[in-house]
Every structure is written in C-alpha cells, then in structure tokens.
Amino acid sequence: MTSRLLAAAAVLALPFAPVLADAFLRLSDGRVLEGLGVRRDGDVYLLEVPGDTVVPVPVSLVTEVGIRATGDESTAPPTGLTLDQPRVLAGVAVEPTTPDQQLAAFGKPAEFQRDVATSTLGPTYWHPDPDQHNFAPSTWAKAPIDSEWHPTSAFDPNKNVLAGGASTWQKGVVDSSWTPTDGFAASKK
C-alpha cells in the first residue's frame, strides 16, 4: 500500500518538478517531492501540488519537511522582526516632531506676577547664626526623678554566682536498677 502511494506521489510530482515550490518532502530513499504547501493530518503529510491536487505521503517515509522561499524577496512585504533602522511599513512617512516643537505647545514658562507695591524693606535683622536670631529658646526642665539607668555588674570574682543554678544528683525514690533474667528458664527444664 505504501509503495503504491509512494509511486503515485512520484508520478504526480514529476511533471511539476521544475516549478518553484514553496514546500518539499524529503523521503527516506533520498527523493524530494515538491509542492505548493504541506500540512500534516494524523500519520500522513498532505502535499499540495499545482492543479488543486493533494498527494498523501505517510509520515514513516518522510525524513525532512521543509519550506522554501520563492521569488524575489525584495518585493515581498515586510513580515516579522528585522534588524534594521526605523522604516515606514505602510502609508506615508511622517516626520516626528522635535523636542522644541513639543515644548512650544506649553507656551512661555510660568512667571510670578510682580507685587503691586514695591518695598525696599529688607530683612536686616536675620542672621544665619542661630544664637543671634533665637527669639524664644526652648530649654529642658529638670525631671523630678532621675530617668537614667546605670546598671551594676552582678559578677563577683570572689563568689560563685552560678551556684544557685547548679545541677545536683539525688537518689531516686524508686530503685531503678534492673537485672535481666531468663524468662525461658522454666520452659527449658
């Protein structure tokens, strides 16, 4: 069955071999079948050839499936991502606005309105030294209780300070000594 399909595919593909193909199937015996398109349907590749004909080829006979570019690539519309400078893909080229043109939309920078009355009075009393311009100095009142804590060391080099927490052994209330005995001694007699 597969040999008949292969023979039919080869016979149908021979007249169309010189045509520039979009897709091809490389068979396990080295032959190449070319067509306009290829798709997989279950365990069969369906190779489309000119004349609205579809050639089924079993997957087990195919070692490579490929798609070739056809025609002049420069006339083809751009697709996908390219490593290139910015370019117009569709429509008329539009020059971007410059930063000066964009900022001109805001108008002149904001300015504060001048005072109605002009004054020559300047702050001659203000000095950068804080001791000279401190009108109401804040002072801290002495607290009625001394809130400072001065810890004293509990370590006495002449005394064992850890004696109160020392572990001591005492005799248990119940005698916990155990001597094993042979439980099967009675059955051995």
Share of the chain above pLDDT 70, in %: 70
Cβ count near 5 (within 10 Å): 15
Q: Which of 66, 62, 54 is nearest to 12 (CA)?
A: 54
Q: Which of 66, 75, 4 is nearest to 32 (CA)?
A: 66
Give the tens place of pLDDT for each residue, 77-105.
556 666 677 788 888 888 889 998 988 88
Cβ count near 101 (within 10 Å): 9
Average pLDDT, integer, range 102-119:
80
Residue entry with tokens 């005394």: 159
Burial grade of 27 (CB within 10 A; 0-12, 13-18, 19 or more): middle
Q: Which of 8, 11, 2 is nearest to 61 (CA)?
A: 2
Q: Is the pTM value of this prediction over 0.75? A: no
CATH 2.30.30.100 for domain 2-67: yes
Predicted pLDDT of residue 32: 92
Predicted pLDDT of residue 132: 64
How far is it, in rounded angstroms, from Cα 55 to Cα 12?
Answer: 8
**28 pLDDT band (50/70/90 cuts)?**
very high
Please give the mean pLDDT across all residues of the chain: 76
Give the tens place of pLDDT for each residue, 121-176.
666 666 666 666 666 666 778 888 888 888 888 778 888 877 778 887 788 888 88
Domain map (residue ranges) of the chain:
2-67
**18 pLDDT band (50/70/90 cuts)?**
very low
Predicted pLDDT of residue 16: 41
Predicted pLDDT of residue 29: 92
**20 pLDDT band (50/70/90 cuts)?**
very low
Amino acid at 161: V
Give the CA distances from residue 41 to residues 1, 38, 131, 188, in Å, rounded to whole numbers and listed in that order. Answer: 18, 10, 93, 83
Residue 41 above 80 pLDDT? Answer: yes
Lowest mean pLDDT among 5-19, 48-62, 164-178: 5-19
Predicted pLDDT of residue 167: 80
Structure tokens at 113: 């309105």
